[in-house]
Copies of this chain bind each other. A is one copy, B any other.
Amino acid sequence: MNLSICCGRNFSTNDRKYTSRGSQEVNKRKILVVLVDRANYGRLKPVLRAIDEHVALELQIVAAGTMVLQRFHKPVEVVKRDGFQVDTEVYLELEGSTPATMAKSVGYGVGEFAGEYQRLKPDIVLLIGDRYETLAAAIAAAFMNICIAHIQGGEVSGSIDESTRHAISKFAHFHFPSTQRAVEYLIRMGENPDTILTVGCPSSDIARKLDQNAGLANSIINSTGVGATIDLRRSFLLVVFHPTTTQFGGERQQMGQLLNALSELQLQTICLWPNIDAGSDHISKTIRVFRDQAKPSWLRVITNLPPDDYLKILAAASCAIGNSSSFVRDASFFGTPVVLVGSRQDGRELADHVRTSPPSAKLIVQAVQEQLAHGRYNRSTLYGNGHVSERIAQSLAELTPYVQKRLHYIYEQANVQRHRAL
């Protein structure tokens, strides 16, 4: 497969003048990056840096979704503290966390993103992942004839994220998938191979550079959240369990089983509150009731951690339990043992560090014990080799934006007509 850029008429940096007018560079290509949750930022941070530092690119940041919510500790503040300028904050979450409010939030978000695009006039909108907020950002861009580049397309999972991810791919004009299988799948889905510009997840760059030995002071983890005091020098578990929206209503029972498993394990445990998807209120309530009734001495529940701290915790955990995609992806870089619970990540490419378990207390306990017995795994490069972000920035500078997509199958036997038709 040819990973070079799409068209003959390349963007030539030599041809362009970068006149300085005050503090604003003219003629820079404007790359608008949409961040919709903490995890988005955790993975995109090195890409933001690479875009910001690229001579031919101007970085625009739209923080949306849970990034701007106090309930999630406003992760956007971390972005600002890291030195990035956030152009606008978009509130789009209709409160309720039901399937209907999630749908309505998508709809509301489309309008809000459209408004921001009108003002910021980006050349390219850069999206990552499979969140519903990201779908809203994609639809607004596509209907406004703005070129879309998408990171993490071509993967397979459960929940509504699965359909959402592929729909985003169908609106995206360029792709930065994370794995070779994802590249293959995108091409099979009818995407133009020439529009697939890199392979590898930028989160691997972070993992590569993360100084795990620096570790985390106990004080950081114990100054946020509620519950047990955690000693990070001892063995601990990390739990993140989000709802699988396509099983709305089932999350209570699933979380109950997971908590029962933890009760049996009786190891010190850091548990993060779930995201905002339909069903999350039920999971939160299940955790709250469990804390009130069982009064577990081993459990600390935390709303949110800055991305770097989260990754250090993930890297240091003896076992990560739940269904966060970071357990599939980021944990693979660290070799952290994982027990993947339920169907939310079904279909993902898994490195050796993962065991799967149905949401049954007994089976979860068994899987965790096996992982604890095994200990750490070797690092994997399945999701990237740690040198991705700068390639993405460079591609964004070099690609030729276009608007009209077409299922690539029709060009297979008619390659001659191809460029004309495009």
* Residue ranges of A at the interface with B (Cβ–Cβ < 8 Å): 22, 68-71, 88, 91-104, 106-115, 117-119, 132, 135-136, 139-140, 142-145, 156, 158-160, 162-163, 166-167, 170-171, 185, 188-190, 245-248, 278, 281-282, 284-285, 343, 346-347, 403-407, 409-410, 421
Is there an interface contact between B109 and A96, defined as CB atoms closer than 8 Å? no
Q: In the complex the two chains form, is B171's CB within 8 Å of A167's CB? A: yes
Q: Which residues of B contact A405 (CB under 8 A)?
A: 162-163
Task: Tell which of B71, B189, B245 touches A190, judged by Cβ atoms closer than 8 Å.
Answer: B189
B248 and A103 within 8 A (CB): no
Q: Could you say how many copies of this chain the assembly holds?
A: 4
Task: State in angstroms the CA–CA spacing of A158 and B407 once bound together.
Answer: 10
**A91, A163, A407, A409 — which one has the most chain B CB atoms within 10 A of its CB?**
A163
Known A100-B144, A132-B143, A188-B409; further 5 A-B contacts with Cβ < 8 A: A93-B95, A104-B110, A159-B404, A166-B190, A246-B403
Q: Do residues B190 and A158 form an inter-chain contact, with CB atoms below 8 A? A: no
Bound form: Cα–Cα A40–B136 in Å: 25
Residue numbers in B under 8 Å from A410 (CB-CB)? 156, 347
Report the nearest B residue to A277, measured CB to CB: B143
CA distance A70 to B285 in the complex (A): 9
In the complex the two chains form, is B343's CB within 8 Å of A162's CB?
no
A361 CA to B99 CA, complexed, in Å = 45
Shortest C-beta distance, A136 to chain B (Å), equals: 7
Chain B residues with CB below 8 A from A188, complex form? 188-190, 409
Instruction: Give the distance in Å from the alpha carbon of A104 to the alpha carbon of B347 in the complex.
Output: 33
A144-B409 in contact (CB<8A): no
Q: List 11 A-B contacts (CB under 8 A).
A: A22-B22, A91-B100, A94-B94, A103-B111, A103-B113, A103-B142, A108-B108, A110-B110, A185-B407, A343-B404, A343-B421
